[in-house]
């Protein structure tokens, strides 16, 4: 069941890359496995998936312990400061940094573990009241503030575009996020590249890839609908 869905997602990504004149290798597919049982993740793993996205700390840690160690775990959900310590040494990338306070805690924990934490600035790209993320006009200054902290590297930007009936409506937001990434990388010439653009979900990832996404986060499109009542 997963294999057919995965194939379809792969085909759509390839098609979008071709349409935009991009290499397929420029885009990482993150399988968003939140709420899904470990067996399903194992199935995706056996089909070659190595990047998994989770939005809850406890769930990520549980799955981390049960699954192979070559998996690259992505923290994609809102992160509370007091929980950073549980995931700091388990994830390759934290996609959801939207405040200096959170960044400070990530930096502190990274120093403790003697690692560099890779993070993305989450931008509330459409200014939706219901969403986390820094306002677009504050993204550059937040990035500048963060890179003054030790052991933390700003690697790019992330957004959750609005849930729309026609994904074309999100094209402008994806373009705006890419522009913001350029603005940020101009401002922070540190030693790492600021080249990760995490955008596109089941509803809109082909458009996101056409507009320059380097990481799409696809849940439903791979694992099927989520049931939050179990």
Ligand X SMILES: *Cc1c(COP(=O)(O)O)cnc(C)c1O
Give the pair of three-digit tokens for residue 1.
């069941």
Q: Give 36 or 108: the residue with its C-beta nearer to ligand X.
A: 36
Which of 17, 27, 76, 196 contacts ligand X by CB under 6 A? 76
CA distances from 78 to 81, 99, 158, 181 (A): 10, 11, 12, 20
Which of 32, 94, 139, 153 contacts ligand X by CB under 6 A? 32
Distance CA 174, CA 62 (A): 33
DSSP state of 116: -
Tell me the closest approach of the beta carbon of residue 230 to ligand X, in angstroms.
16
Q: Is 221 in the site for ligand X (CB under 6 A)?
A: yes
CA dihedral 189, 192, 197, 202 (to 10 degrees): -160
Subset of 147-206 contacting ligand X (CB under 6 A): 160, 201-203
Alpha helices by DSSP H, listed for the chain, are 2-20, 38-46, 57-66, 84-87, 100-113, 139-146, 171-187, 205-210, 220-223
Q: Give 77 or 136: the residue with its C-beta nearer to ligand X.
A: 77
Which of 52, 77, 133, 156 contacts ligand X by CB under 6 A? 77
Tell me the closest approach of the beta carbon of residue 71 to ligand X, in angstroms.
17
Tell me the closest approach of the beta carbon of residue 222 to ligand X, in angstroms.
8
Binding mask 44-63 for ligand X (x = CB under 6 A): -----------x--------
DSSP state of 224: -
Residues in the site for ligand X, rule: CB under 6 A? Answer: 32, 34, 55, 76-77, 160, 201-203, 217-221
């Amino acid at each position: 069941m997963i294999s057919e869905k995965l194939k379809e997602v792969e085909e759509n990504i390839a098609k979008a890359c071709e349409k935009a004149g991009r290499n397929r290798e420029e885009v990482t597919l993150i399988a968003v496995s939140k709420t899904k049982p470990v067996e399903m993740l194992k199935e995706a793993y056996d089909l070659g998936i190595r990047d998994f996205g989770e939005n809850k700390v406890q769930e990520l840690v549980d799955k981390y312990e049960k699954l192979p160690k070559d998996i690259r775990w992505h923290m994609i959900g809102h992160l509370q400061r007091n929980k950073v310590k549980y995931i700091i040494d388990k994830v390759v990338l934290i996609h959801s940094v939207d405040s200096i306070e959170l960044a400070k805690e990530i930096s502190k924990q990274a120093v403790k573990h003697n690692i560099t934490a890779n993070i993305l600035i989450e931008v509330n790209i459409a200014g939706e009241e219901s969403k986390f993320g820094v306002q677009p006009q504050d993204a550059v200054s937040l990035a500048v503030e963060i890179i003054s902290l030790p052991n933390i590297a700003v690697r790019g930007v992330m957004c959750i575009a609005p849930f729309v009936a026609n994904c074309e409506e999100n094209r402008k937001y994806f373009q705006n996020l890419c522009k913001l990434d350029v603005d940020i990388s101009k401002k922070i010439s540190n030693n790492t590249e600021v080249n990760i653009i995490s955008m596109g979900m089941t509803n809109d990832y082909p458009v996101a890839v056409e507009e320059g996404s380097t990481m799409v986060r696809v849940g439903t499109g791979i694992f099927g609908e989520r049931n939050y009542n179990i």
